[in-house]
Amino acid sequence: MEPSDIKAIIESAITDSQATVQSDGRHVDVVVVSPAFAGLSLLKKQQLVNAALKSAIADGRIHAVQMKTYTPEEWSELQG
């Protein structure tokens, strides 16, 4: 699955999100920034991303996902 396809899936599923995706085929690294993450626990943020990718994970197009999730404020602080 192409990184651009994964990016499109995440950004269409999570409100106002911006995703950065790197993939070597079936292993995917994503960074997702969205105001939808405000007030959510790390687990809830990850569940949102996993829900977006559910069908691709279920059918084996994606084997493993490593993710980092941030609100815009968290991302801004991280960027310095």
Q: pLDDT per residue over 17-60, tens digit each?
A: 999 999 987 799 999 999 999 999 999 999 999 999 999 999 99
Whichever domain contains 31, its CATH number is 3.30.300.90
Q: How far apart are CA 6 and CA 24, in angstroms?
A: 12
Give the total number of structural domains in the chain.
Answer: 1
Q: How far apart are CA 10 and CA 77, in angstroms?
A: 23
Tell if the pTM clears 0.85, that is, is over it: yes
Q: Give residue 61's domain range.
A: 3-75
Classify 52 as helix, strand or coil: helix
Is-contact 49 69, C-beta < 8 A? yes
Report if residue 63 sits inside a domain: yes
- For the segment 4-20, the average pLDDT, to the nearest whole number, is 97
